[in-house]
Structure 1
Amino acid sequence: MTGTLGRVRLPLLVATAVLLVTGVVLGVVALRSAPAESGPALTPITVRTPGSAPPGPVPAPDPPAAGFVPPPPLGDGPDDDDADDDADDPDDDDDDDG
């Protein structure tokens, strides 16, 4: 069984290598045969779109739901678990630094 796989893989490998080398050679030949100055520069294309109405007013955001409590602000609070946590709350031991 192993011999069969070896016989199938080798021709595929050789064919792939031949195609790759052929493509590289043809690409190099095509690039070398291109003239240095192939003509005048292209003019930019201008696309005109139909006018549209200006955007309308932005609606006000919805008020928060009843009972909504905003999250606390981010920063150096007593439970931020930073290295300096014990400096602002010495009794807080959840940062595992003693």
Structure 2
Amino acid sequence: MIEFEKSLLREENDVFNTVYFMVKEAVDTAKGDRDIVKQKYCAEHFQISVNTLKDWVLHGCPEIRLDSGMVLYSKKAIREWLLIYQK
């Protein structure tokens, strides 16, 4: 009986891991579909550091500043801004 219980626990663990990674992938995909994102996600999208993104802003990269002080970024607007500097 103990072997059966161990086997059942392994099976439950495998199912849990499969479902967990499927949900995580779906959430990551949904985050990637948004155009307006916070600083961290914008930097991740362009595969740069947050400091590099801040440097881009100093050089004219568009950002959205809300009255609350929150800063957001449009991935589309940044893509267009980057294309201006393409050679």
TM-score category (smaller protein): 0.3 to 0.5
Task: Select the structure that is richer in strand.
Answer: 2
**Structure with larger RCO (C-alpha < 8 A, sep 6+):** 2
Under a length normalisation based on structure 2, what TM-score does the superposition of the two structures give? 0.39
Under a length normalisation based on structure 1, what TM-score does the superposition of the two structures give? 0.35
